[in-house]
Homo-oligomer: A and B are copies of this chain.
Amino acid sequence: MEFSFASRASKLLSSHLHKVNKEERQNSFISLAEELPAEEFFPIKRLGEAARMVLSSDPSVLQYGEPQGYGPLRSWISEDWKRRRGMLTSADRILLTAGSQQAIDLITRLLVDIGDSVVVENPTSPGCLQVLEMQGANIIAVENDLEGLLPDRLEEQFQSVKPKLLFAAPSFSNPTGILWSLERRKAVLELCRKYGVLIIEDDSYGELHFGSEEAASRFSVSYPTLYALDAMDGGNQVLYIGSFSKTIAPAMRTGWAVGDQRLIRGMSTLKQMADWQSSSMNQQILYFLLHESSFRWKEHLALLNREYEVRLKLVLELLKRPGFKEVKYHPPSGGMYLWIQLPQGLHSEALLRASMRLGVAFLPGSRCSPGRQADEYIRINFSRPGREELLLGMNLISEAIQEFTARR
């Protein structure tokens, strides 16, 4: 029989936002395109010990658990917030999800009707754009500068389209790696309060900040999350999204949302409908790792940040290769990505095709904005590839750019 897909699914499947990148991945022997953390730093030994402990207890660890997520892990998150980041919340305002992507999908399904306007940063992550497209949102992309979203532009949109939500990733966003200044954070929060716009703050990369240990210890004061700023005044303007995928390991499939109880309850109900619940076993293994084993969470984060900074520095060195002479970029101070503006007239999708012939892939910027506006940019992932891959990969991209510029 023939199948006719639902209209929005069909639109998503044929959209430039969704390309089947499986081929891209398989055909290029080096990929700087992924959203992957470095495997060599996964605490696999300690996770193995944690799994052994959890699975040597009562069989109820393998039963269905609380749909909202394992209570002790939710409590641990709220205590960790308080201890390390000076943020206050409680376990009943936290929902555990299958990574941050599911949190984005659930809050969108809960709040967005077809045609509702939603503001995103331009550019923004492909995963977020796909969810909004699928839900039928009217996606409004607002420009950033290096300090964050531009308040004037944001207010113009708030006045003209009255959006329901703002999706923002103020700390090392995917793809740009921008870190919003404190002033900009305050200004955007103020505007959202004034116009009654709920902020969905994706902080998936917020723990990955580089620099000295001293700067790291001040990070949450210098760059408080929008959630923290809002909570100081007792607000409920922000739904916060976090994840262990980039800091512990993706296969734990554990992220979380924190916010007003009505939102968390609504998302919990939709999560039950969507997949009943995430694995209570995995949540218990994570809890054991973080709470009961000798794993040192703070030192683990510091290690990741040192190592990722080394990789970023290597990429910045490699940008001295001849092909990159005309590119522009701003070195990020955290995260996993470098966002590079190509020489004028060069398109990211065309460059990708040429690069893949040489054996290297990256993410074309076109997939990070609803109307392909970012087509003159590319995103390089520096967290996953090791030294050799970065060297070879960046050399090949330089070559591919030179092929284009030589022709002009």
Taking beta carbons and an 8 Å cutoff, which residues of A are in contact with B? 1-9, 12-13, 18, 34-37, 39-40, 42, 44, 47-48, 51-52, 55-56, 58-65, 97-99, 101-102, 105, 109-113, 116, 127, 130-131, 134, 164, 193, 196, 198, 235-237, 249-253, 260, 262-263, 266, 269-270, 272-282
Q: Give bound CA distance, A105 to B272, whole Å.
A: 11
**Given known contacts A55-B44, A62-B251, A266-B13, A98 and B3 CB-to-CB distance under 8 angstroms:** no
Q: Give bound CA distance, A263 to B6, whole Å.
A: 12
Question: What residues of B have a CB within 8 angstroms of the CB of A134 in the complex?
Answer: 109, 270, 273
Q: Give bound CA distance, A37 to B59, whole Å.
A: 12
Cβ of A59 and Cβ of B42 under 8 Å apart?
yes
Cβ of B260 and Cβ of A3 under 8 Å apart?
yes
Cβ of B105 and Cβ of A63 under 8 Å apart?
no
Q: Give bound CA distance, A281 to B47, whole Å.
A: 11
> What distance in Å separates the Cβ of A116 from its nearest Cβ neighbour in chain B?
8
Question: What residues of B have a CB within 8 angstroms of the CB of A237 in the complex?
Answer: 1
**Given known contacts A63-B249, A280-B251, A111 and B263 CB-to-CB distance under 8 angstroms:** no
- 30 A–B pairs (Cβ distance < 8 Å), ordered by A: A1-B198, A1-B235, A1-B237, A3-B111, A3-B260, A4-B111, A4-B164, A5-B111, A5-B266, A6-B111, A6-B113, A9-B109, A9-B110, A9-B266, A13-B269, A18-B269, A39-B63, A42-B62, A42-B63, A44-B55, A44-B59, A44-B62, A52-B52, A61-B251, A62-B249, A62-B251, A64-B250, A64-B251, A97-B275, A281-B282
Cβ of B274 and Cβ of A274 under 8 Å apart?
yes
> What distance in Å separates the Cβ of A362 from its nearest Cβ neighbour in chain B?
17
Question: What residues of B have a CB within 8 angstroms of the CB of A198 in the complex?
Answer: 1, 3
Question: What residues of B have a CB within 8 angstroms of the CB of A274 in the complex?
Answer: 101-102, 105, 274
Cβ of B273 and Cβ of A130 under 8 Å apart?
yes
> What distance in Å separates the Cβ of A223 from its nearest Cβ neighbour in chain B?
24
Which has the most chain B C-beta neighbours within 10 Å: A9, A102, A113, A116? A9
Question: What residues of B have a CB within 8 angstroms of the CB of A101 in the complex?
Answer: 273-276
Cβ of A62 and Cβ of B279 under 8 Å apart?
no
Cβ of B1 and Cβ of A63 under 8 Å apart?
no
Q: Give bound CA distance, A111 to B1, whole Å.
A: 14
Q: Give bound CA distance, A56 to B102, whole Å.
A: 29
Q: With A5-B266, A6-B112 given, can you name 20 additional A-B contacts, CB distance below 8 Å?
A: A4-B164, A12-B269, A13-B269, A39-B58, A42-B59, A42-B62, A44-B59, A62-B249, A62-B252, A63-B249, A63-B251, A101-B273, A101-B274, A102-B275, A105-B273, A109-B134, A251-B279, A274-B274, A279-B279, A282-B282
Which has the most chain B C-beta neighbours within 10 Å: A61, A63, A164, A273? A273
Cβ of B253 and Cβ of A6 under 8 Å apart?
no
Partner of A36, one of B39, B63, B164: B63
> What distance in Å separates the Cβ of A60 from its nearest Cβ neighbour in chain B?
5
Q: Which residue of B lies closest to A97 (CB)?
A: B275
Q: Which residue of B lies closest to A262 (CB)?
A: B3
Cβ of B48 and Cβ of A52 under 8 Å apart?
yes
Cβ of A253 and Cβ of B270 under 8 Å apart?
no
Cβ of A63 and Cβ of B250 under 8 Å apart?
yes
Q: Which residue of B lies closest to A133 (CB)?
A: B273
